Amino acid sequence: MQVRPVIACVSLLAGALVALSGTPAQAASTTQYVSPTGTDSAAGTQSAPTTLATAISRIAPGGTIYLRGGTYNYSSTITIPAGSNGTSSARTNLSAYPGEKPVLNFSAQSESSSNRGLQLNANYWHLYGLTVERAGDNGIYVGGSNNVIERTVTRYNRDTGLQLGRISSSTPSSQWPSNNLIVSAESHDNADSDGEDADGFAAKLTTGTGNVFRYAVSHNNIDDGWDLYTKTDTGAIGPVTIEYSLSYNNGTLSNGTVNANGDRNGYKLGGDDIAVNHVVQHSIAYRNGKHGFTYNSNPGKMTISNNVSVDNAQRNFAFDVGTHVYRNNTSCRYSVSGSNDKTIGDADSSNQFWTGTNGSRCSSYSGALGWSFASDGHLAVTFGGKVVTP
């Protein structure tokens, strides 16, 4: 006799949820499938795919959302909200379906700081195999921590392609994004209208400790390849590691467009005379529009090791202040004569900073990434057996 009222209450609650949402309430799912033609009310199975926003709201911690191939056209930001976390032992996955290429296209957005593409504010997620393009601001913005962003392409966005930063102005520094790994990612042809802010990758202004970029390629962005800028208003960021990465032709888009307002560096490593001890190793800067590697007023003790900088327009290495440590770096010029490199700090004989035009020496050097020059000065770089040819 006491069971019926409980059952009735549950039935009424379920009915109310259906009335409010328009679709039956569903338990969290361990697997969801999404396609460009999916619908919110669909179950999220292979035969009945749903939408990305709905899949995000349904997925259980540690589950997987598969994006089928094709173009997804959006006019507003897709957000993975804070609190929708995976776990340290089982990240939640947002992944391209095996063998397929999903493209998230935000070309319907106007250029505005409020018009990001894909925004990851949760912790312990793994994004894999996505292309995000033409957003009104950042292509991918990471405000959460302990995430892995792998094999993504961010292109033609109207601010930095992939950027790390705090979720909101009220986020305390203890909760700034930390321990994120960006691996085997590419970012190119990102350009804002004034030419001053659209980099390939950025961990700047409001980022915590432990963020790493590895096997990443940044090229043909209107501003810098990497930007680790700091400013007095927000103070120091956590040290960032960039390793086994490549930055080339930044400052000039693939179609030849140049904006004089752009800084045009390969790796920009500071700002506002704030000391942060970044680590940059086993990386290459090639033919960027200003400097290859630059301290950009960072007076700290950065570790700059096993890097190669070739034919950047001004300095290959530009470090005017600090106690930075330089080991096993190479600076040379193939098609541009002269050198005005500067390395303030601890630089020993393991570095090779050649002056003049020294193509034969460039050609004879074999860096950690694997690279070589053709007879016309063309650079070929190998990442894990794949050749990238600027």
> pLDDT tens-digit profile of 270-294?
999 999 999 999 999 999 999 999 9
* Res. 218: pLDDT tops 90: yes
Distance CA 132, CA 58 (A): 22
| Per-residue pLDDT, 48 | 98
Backbone phi, psi, residue 386, to 5°: -100, 130
Mean pLDDT of 190-194: 97
Classify residue 356 as exposed, middle or buried by CB count within 10 Å of its CB (0-12, 13-18, 19+): exposed
| Per-residue pLDDT, 28 | 87
Band of pLDDT at residue 21, cut at 50, 70 and 90: very low
Distance CA 265, CA 333 (A): 16
| Identified catalytic residue from 268, 290, 301, 342 | 268
Mean pLDDT (the chain, rounded): 88
Band of pLDDT at residue 66, cut at 50, 70 and 90: very high
| Per-residue pLDDT, 6 | 33
Say whether 382 sits in a helix, a strand or coil: strand
Distance CA 12, CA 26 (A): 16
What is the token pair recorded at 140?
Answer: 């991918």
Q: What is the pLDDT of residues 312-371, one digit of tens each?
A: 999 999 999 999 999 999 888 876 665 679 999 999 999 988 766 665 566 554 444 455
268 is annotated as an active-site residue = yes
| Per-residue pLDDT, 358 | 62
Whole-number CA gyration radius for the chain: 23
Residues in CB range of 203: below 8 A, 6 or more apart: 163, 164, 165, 211, 213, 228, 237, 240
| Per-residue pLDDT, 90 | 97
Q: What is the pLDDT of residues 245-276, one digit of tens each?
A: 999 999 999 999 999 999 999 999 999 999 99
Q: Are 223 and 217 in contact (CB under 8 A)?
A: no
Strand ranges (E), 15-147: 29-34, 59-67, 70-73, 78-80, 92-96, 102-105, 118-120, 125-128, 131-133, 140-142
Q: What percent of the chain has pLDDT over 90?
A: 78
Position 197, amino acid:
D
* Res. 49: pLDDT tops 60: yes
Which residue in 180, 166, 170, 182 sits closest to 209, CA to CA? 180
Residues in CB range of 192: below 8 A, 6 or more apart: 111, 158, 159, 198, 222, 223
Q: Are 242 and 268 in contact (CB under 8 A)?
A: no
Say whether 50 sits in a helix, a strand or coil: strand
Backbone phi, psi, residue 48, to 5°: -135, 70
Mean pLDDT of 76-98: 98
Q: What is the pLDDT of residues 109-168, one digit of tens each?
A: 999 999 999 999 999 999 999 999 999 999 999 999 999 999 999 999 999 999 999 999
Q: Are 216 and 182 in contact (CB under 8 A)?
A: yes
pTM, to two decimals:
0.89
Q: What is the pLDDT of residues 219-253, one digit of tens each?
A: 999 999 999 999 999 999 999 999 989 999 999 99
Q: What is the pLDDT of residues 199-215, one digit of tens each?
A: 999 999 999 999 999 98
Say whether 57 sits in a helix, a strand or coil: helix
Beta-bridged to residue 150, according to DSSP, are: 128, 183
| Per-residue pLDDT, 107 | 98
pLDDT: which is higher, 15 or 214 = 214
pLDDT: which is higher, 331 or 2 = 331
| Per-residue pLDDT, 310 | 87
Domains of the chain: 29-388 (2.160.20.10)
